[in-house]
Structure formats: structure tokens, C-alpha cells
Amino acid sequence: MIFRQLFDGVSSTYSYLLASRRGGEAMIIDPVIEKVDRYLQLARELDLKLVKAIDTHLHADHITGLGALRDRTQCVTVMGERSRVDVVSMRVADGDRLQIEGIDLEVLYTPGHTDDSYSFRMADRVFTGDTLLIRGTGRTDFQNGDARAQYESIFGRLLRLPDETLVYPGHDYKGDTVSTIGEERRCNPRLQVKSVDEYVELMHNLRLANPKMMDVAVPANMKVGLQQQDIARRGWALTAEQAVAVLGQPDVVLIDLRERAERERHGTIPGSLHVPYPSLCESTSAGGTLNALARTTGKRLLFYCAFGERSAMAVQAAQDAGLSSSCHLQGGLAAWKAAGGPLEPPGRPAGST
Ligand SMILES: [Fe+2]
């Protein structure tokens, strides 16, 4: 496995680059915007293709690198389903698996620091964001923080992991890099409480100053969505209502870019083909399945995904490959559902290519 713990000295943020092999897919957890060039340089040096960028929660102390990484690499941006961010490409929920080639993270919903805080567990380690820090815990006094919920997330979820599980936090202000669950249970001063009420009182008495960047970072981080209007202005977008109107027409084929788990959870548009986003470029380039389908049948490709981000990037790739009639469903399946578009029920997705 390739594993890099990267540090932003201004906000004391740790970001994590993960991949299973040189030449393979990579993901990054909690990237910082000022370090995006460094991440991309490192990915090039290690011969990695960045395919997912994940934030553990909406950050208040730095601006996320999610949007910049998506714009520069067309990677999929991921946050938890509870996040108030305007648009990410994919939202995950407790119990979901977050996967790339050779890497499989279990999603744990661990609210308390914020109400959109998630942790991500691999076989031998857990990325705890700001829920559990080394000899500390994330503050709970803003962004819908809740000390009671955090106690439950830490004692009810994270401390139930095996003692030897490595703890990789979202920040450290003292220079520590890694701990273990057992070590934190024994040595973390915030966890030496006898009850949830004692923990709540301890957290309420911290009286910390607000982060310096908070007034800038929170609004910026809530607007990381891709500007889908640019795609619409080029005539490459259908609104959900327009897409409902063309459903079933013989000259249009709908292409679902989401992952299998998303299809099973949220349902699919009837009659659509499944071409997962990571295989899209291969499929739309010369000799690829979708390229051949569009050219031999003259059908218009109508891409869709969860919220319209992956499909907006897909339509750009298809247009670049010369498929000039291709378009996407603006706002994705969320907009389709809001418009009352028909769905195949969750759990029974349509056929795959
Ligand atoms: Fe935070």
C-alpha cells in the first residue's frame, strides 16, 4: 500500500493520500487548497491517478482542496450525506463502503464536532477527522457541534474498534502523527471521564476562540460544487423536466455513471445503461463501447449521476471525444426525483454494460 500523511503547517491539518500500488488509483482525505499543487506533484511522482477526494466534515479552519482537485483531475468529490455543502459528486452514509482500486474504507457516521463528521476505517487504521484527536477531541461549540453526540461517537463507535487500530486524525497541534485506539482510551485526558454528563461539562468549559479562518473557510467550503451552468450554456444539459420528456424516445440512451452501491440504494432511471464513471473515458474514446454506440446508432447519450457533477465532467469528455450530441442531466438523480421522474426501485438496478 502507498500511504502518505501530508501536513499543512498553517492550519495544522493532516491530509492522507492512499493507493494500493504504483500506477493505480488514489484517494485523498481532507485536502487543503493551498497544497493542491503539492498533492498533484506527489501523485505524478508516485504514478498515481487521483480518483476520489474526501472531506471528513465541513472545515472551519481551512479551505478544502476538493473543488480544485476535481477541476484539475476530474476526480469524484465525496462527503457525508449530512453535509450542508452545496454539491459534491457523491454522498456517503454510515455503513457505506468508500472504494477505489485495492482500497476499501468503511464509512462511520461520528457526529459531535460537527453534525456532518464522518470517520473512515481501513483494516488496521481509522481516519478520525476532528472527532478523535491525539490526546484531544474536536471542539463541539459551533457548526451544530454536540458534546453528547461526540461522546457517543467516541465511546460508542471509535473506542469499540480493536485497541491496536491506528488513529490518524484530521489535525495535530503538537507534532504527533499517529496513535492507537488503546493508547487514546488510556492516555487521552478528555476520555478519562466517568459519564456523558462529565464529558459534556468538560467540553462546555473549554471556551475556545473561534478559528481565525472561520468566517472565510465555512462559506467557501459550502460552495465547492462544479459550475454546472457553464455546461448548460453550451447546450449540453437537460433539466430534469426536459429529461423526463425524452425518456423512452428511441434516439436517446441514458447512461448511469454512479457506483453499484449508489444504484442499489437510490434506484435507477428505467432503461438506463450502467457505465461507472471511472471507465467513462475509455468508453467514450475511439474504439470504446459508448463511442461505438453513439456513432453506429446515432443515439444521443444522456449522462446522469447523483447530483450532476460526474455527468457534467462526462459530457465534457464525450464532447472532447467528438460525441457532439451528448448531454447530461443537470442536478442528477436528485433533480430527477424532485421532478417526479420514474425510478426503478432501489435494489433492482437495470442491466450493466
Ligand atoms: Fe473541524
Q: Diameter of the chain by CA atoms?
A: 70
In this predicted structure, what is the pLDDT of residue 347? 54
Helix (H) or strand (E) holding 336: helix 332-338
Judged by DSSP in three states, 166 sits in strand
Distance from residue 61's CA to the centre of ligand 1 (Å): 7
Tens-digit pLDDT profile for residues 70-118: 999 999 999 999 999 998 999 999 999 999 999 999 999 999 999 999 9
Residue 220 has pLDDT above 80, yes or no: yes
pLDDT tier for residue 351 given thresholds of 50, 70 and 90? very low
Distance from residue 132's CA to the centre of ligand 1 (Å): 11
Distance from residue 45's CA to the centre of ligand 1 (Å): 30
Judged by DSSP in three states, 87 sits in coil
Distance from residue 104's CA to the centre of ligand 1 (Å): 24
Proportion of the chain above pLDDT 90, given as a percent: 93
Handedness of CA 296, 331, 67, 95 (dihedral sign): negative
Counted residue by residue, the chain has a size of 353
Distance from residue 145's CA to the centre of ligand 1 (Å): 10
- DSSP E strands, the chain: 2-8, 13-19, 25-29, 49-54, 76-80, 90-92, 97-100, 103-109, 118-121, 125-129, 132-133, 136-137, 166-169, 179-180, 237-238, 252-256, 273-274, 300-304, 327-329
Question: Residue range 209-224: average pLDDT?
Answer: 90
pLDDT tier for residue 350 given thresholds of 50, 70 and 90? very low
Grid coordinates of 265: 440504494
Distance from residue 60's CA to the centre of ligand 1 (Å): 6
pLDDT tier for residue 212 given thresholds of 50, 70 and 90? confident
Q: Quick one: which of 254, 253, 252, 269 has its CA closest to 344?
A: 269
Residue 289 has pLDDT above 90, yes or no: yes
Distance from residue 142's CA to the centre of ligand 1 (Å): 10
Tens-digit pLDDT profile for residues 112-153: 999 999 999 999 999 999 999 999 999 999 889 999 999 999
CB-CB contact of 32 with 38 (8 Å) = no
What is the spatial distance between Cα 58 and Cα 85, in angstroms, rounded to a whole number? 7
**Exposure on the CB side of residue 261, measured as CA atoms within 13 A:** 11
pTM, entire model: 0.94
Distance from residue 130's CA to the centre of ligand 1 (Å): 5
Number of Cβ within 10 Å of residue 341's Cβ equals 19
Distance from residue 57's CA to the centre of ligand 1 (Å): 7
Rg (CA), the chain: 21
Number of Cβ within 10 Å of residue 10's Cβ equals 13
Distance from residue 134's CA to the centre of ligand 1 (Å): 14
Distance from residue 124's CA to the centre of ligand 1 (Å): 23
**Exposure on the CB side of residue 112, measured as CA atoms within 13 A:** 30
pLDDT tier for residue 227 given thresholds of 50, 70 and 90? confident
What is the spatial distance between Cα 40 and Cα 48, in angstroms, rounded to a whole number? 9
Distance from residue 112's CA to the centre of ligand 1 (Å): 10
Distance from residue 274's CA to the centre of ligand 1 (Å): 36
Collect all residues with Cβ–Cβ distance below 8 Å to 323 and sequence separation of at least 6: 284, 290, 291, 294, 295, 301
Distance from residue 58's CA to the centre of ligand 1 (Å): 7
Distance from residue 268's CA to the centre of ligand 1 (Å): 35
Distance from residue 54's CA to the centre of ligand 1 (Å): 14
